Amino acid sequence: MASPSPLVLVFGPYNGDGLAELERRFTVRHQKSRTLEGLSEAERAEVKAVAVAGHLPNETMDALPALEIVGHFGVGYDGVDAAHAAERGVAVTNTPDVLTEEVADTAVALVLMTVRELHHAESHARSGEWERSGPYPLTRFSLRNKEVGIMGLGRIGLAIAHRLEAFGVKIRYHNRSERSDVAYPYDASLEALAEQSDILLIAAPGGPATEKAVNADVLAALGNEGILINIGRGTTVDEPALIEALEQGTIAAAGLDVFADEPRIPERLRALRNTVLLPHVASASRDTRILMGNLVADNLSRWFAGERLETPVPESEKAGLTRRQG
């Protein structure tokens, strides 16, 4: 008799294609709300894997005694305490690479929209204002002779840099440490990067190490001709400081795909004309989300087959949680 498939708990809202793929491979229980209410003690004791897009509280992990692995739908996994999971012997995976190109495409689009005010120009045409009052005004900025500073030159940051090079802009970057495989100038601090850049582009992961790294001092260093672009994590930017900088003209404009308390965006930020605000859509094409969902499922399949995980997070790698034992 074939052994029953492992019970996978899908915790909270989850991509439909990804859910269907999990259901094809495993026994799935979907808790659409981010609680364990309605899940009996017996069912909790059977859960061996969790698939989640976003936040998984430690108390939820701790309430699942048989939990072995968490598959996070997304490259940024700051909503999962991977160090806590490792202490419990629980592996954590994420979905890098498969969304790199899509996010990089969106980042370039966000740069162009913000620099050339394309969202306002589109509204000018759509509303009939072009016919009533004439052409849209000349934009204050273009990409000509600009220098883009990238915070976070990882997979996504590097893909963005390669795209932006085609526009003739200069690239520089700031990381936790300097890379030996790129020729771009390196700045040892984020404030130094901002000071040297016309456009400061955030592609860094979230978490305590980057929380509010883009603060009032960094924004002041960027200056009143500077533009901030964020496609990383909203927590990386001190949002009240950003709003004040935009209102007072400390910086010229901002293009944001991520926010500190999604989906809530402060009214003061929404009211500003010198912003482009996107609802966290950088990887939000169905093609890419299918690949992400498949990667979550592939990692779980590998784990239960006793094979090495395809994309364990560093905390799991360090703890030796890359393959199921026994």
Give me the residue label for tokens 């927590």.
Answer: 235
State which H helix or E strand residue 93 sits in: strand 91-93
Cβ density class 68-79: b for 16+ within 10 Å, e for less: bbbbbbbbbbbb
Q: How far apart are CA 154 and CA 161, in angstroms?
A: 10
Sheet of 253-256: strand order equals 170-174, 147-151, 199-202, 227-230, 253-256, 275-277
C-alpha count within 13 angstroms, C-beta hemisphere, residue 172: 19
Phi-psi region at 23: left, alpha or beta (left = phi > 0; alpha = psi -120 to 50) = alpha
Q: Which residues, other chains included, contact 40 with Cβ-Cβ below 8 Å and sequence gap of 6+?
A: none
Which residues are catalytically annotated? 233, 262, 280
Report the alpha-carbon distance of residue 157 to residue 100 in Å, rounded: 9
Tell me the angle at which helices 100-116 and 155-165 cross, rounded to the nearest 10 degrees: 50
| Cβ atoms of 231 and 103 closer than 8 Å | yes
Cα 43 to Cα 98: distance, rounded to the nearest angstrom: 33
Between CA 69 and CA 75, with CA 71 as vertex, the angle to 5 degrees is 135
**DSSP sequence for 280-319:** S-TT--HHHHHHHHHHHHHHHHHHHTTPPPSSB-HHHHHT
DSSP 117-156: THHHHHHHHHTTHHHHH-SPPPPS--STT-EEEEE--SHH
